[in-house]
Amino acid sequence: MTPDHTPSSPTVGAETLRDRFAMAALTGLLANSLAEPRYSGNLIYAAEEAYRIADEMLVQRAALSNGEHSRGGV
pLDDT in tens, 45-69: 889 999 999 999 999 999 998 887 6
If you average pLDDT over residues 2-27, what whole number do you get?
76
Residue 6: inside a domain: no
Phi-psi region of 72 (alpha: psi -120 to 50; beta: other; left: phi over 0): left
Q: How many domains does the chain have?
A: 1
**Mean of the per-residue pLDDT values of the chain:** 80
Residue 4: inside a domain: no
pLDDT > 50? residue 2: no
For residue 41, what are the contacts with CB-CB under 8 A and spacing of at least 6? none
If you average pLDDT over residues 20-36, what whole number do you get?
87
Can you give the residue range of the structural domain that contains 21? 15-63
Residue 7: inside a domain: no
Residue 70: inside a domain: no
Helix (H, G, I), strand (E, B) or coil at 45: helix
Residue 47: inside a domain: yes
Residue 41: inside a domain: yes
pLDDT on residue 34: 74
Residue 23: inside a domain: yes
For residue 64, what are the contacts with CB-CB under 8 A and spacing of at least 6? 70
pLDDT > 50? residue 43: yes
